[in-house]
Amino acid sequence: MAKLSPPSCRPLVIIASNDKVYAENLGDELEMCGMEVRLFRLQAFVLATNHSPFAVDVVLVETHELEQGGWDLLEEIREAAPLVEVVAISSLPAIRDSVCAMRTGVFAVLQYPVTGAGLERTIVEACKRKRRAEKRIKKLNHDAHWFDGGHWKDGA
């Protein structure tokens, strides 16, 4: 896999899968690209995010893991960590998967096989979008600090 230049710091990618072998292989490939990777079962990641959100950039999840209430789990992730980008991996580009993905704010739905530069590029782009959102929020918070009740504070 070709090395792309990731965003300014090393992206933290969570692979939320019940298939340990697949997750480990995918994780090894992403680590070779300079990404930090952690493996979780989807339900365990949702619990971890709800109890102590941490600086995750991108979550990779397989759509078959989302059957029977899994899409609700993604919504829980979005509530607990709204800036985390989610990339879904699907065996079939089912319309239902695409609609559910759009509703839950998934960054991209990729079709198997998901190896190579395409996967890396998608993760890097998702990470960049998250970092842009973080910068906008930081700027808004900074601007709000200098603006009070319709008047700019002294020193602005």
The tens digit of pLDDT for each residue in 122-132 reads 999 999 999 89
Q: Is residue 94 part of a domain?
A: yes
Q: Is residue 133 part of a domain?
A: yes
Highest mean pLDDT among 96-100, 107-111, 118-122: 118-122
pLDDT digits (tens, 9 = 90+) for 54-94: 678 898 888 776 666 667 777 877 787 888 898 988 776 66
Overall domain count for the chain: 1
Across the range 137-149, mean pLDDT stands at 68
pLDDT of residue 52: 54
Q: Is residue 4 part of a domain?
A: no
How far apart (Å, rounded) are the C-alpha atoms in residues 95 and 43? 24
Q: Give the CATH number of the domain where residue 122 resides.
A: 3.40.50.2300
CA 105 remoteness from chain centre: 10
pLDDT digits (tens, 9 = 90+) for 41-53: 876 776 666 555 5
